[in-house]
Amino acid sequence: MTQMLAHPITMPVSFTWAADDLCIVAAQLNDCESVIDLFGALHSYNASLDAHFTLADGWENLLCREFRETAHHPDHLYLLVKEGNCAVGLLIVAIHTDSPMFRYRQWVEVEALYVAPSHRGMGIAQRLLDQAYQWAEVQGLSRVQLYVTASNERAQSVYTDQGFSVTQAIMRKSLG
């Protein structure tokens, strides 16, 4: 079955999906609850690996407001993987602009990538990342970056398989 990805910023991208009832769609404003649920699941897992990734009280309202403000902004892309009406995957990417001190100061940053445990191993993360790469090219950017929790070996494996490599390390020292 051929599915289409429709997003107001890019040309539709065609691809073949292995399962007829799964599709990647641009998140709409009425998908805010799904975005919040999947983002919360992602960070709940990250917090289980490192407590410093625990979300703050009221984060849902903040994310909902940010989503509503940026969902149709040309510098952001929110995608959901849906099985029927149920969202089982999330991708949030945005154009990141660094300080003017740097020559190579713009890239697409993967801000969130999550696939529900029930749907892992089906190639969903790879398909979402493929959409991020295509979106980056449409934006005229040739670099995609992301952060991954150091102890999240499964995610690191997915990203390594996609051609990502470590270019910087974030180091932390807890005081007291």
User: Tokens 């990647």 sit at which residue?
Assistant: 24
- Mean pLDDT along residues 73-101: 96
CA angle 138, 23, 72 (to 5 degrees): 45
The tokens describing 126, both together, are: 């790879």
Q: 68, 74, 46: which is closest to 147 by C-alpha? A: 46
pLDDT at 176: 84
Q: Report the alpha-carbon distance of residue 13 to residue 52 in Å, rounded.
A: 37
Calpha distance 107→139 (Å, rounded): 9
Distance between CA atoms of residues 12 and 165, nearest Å:
29
Statement: residue 20 has pLDDT above 80:
no
Residue 93 predicted with pLDDT over 70: yes
CATH, range 2-161? 3.40.630.30
Computed over every residue of the chain, the mean pLDDT equals 89
Q: Angle at which helices 59-70 and 32-49 pack, to 10 degrees?
A: 130
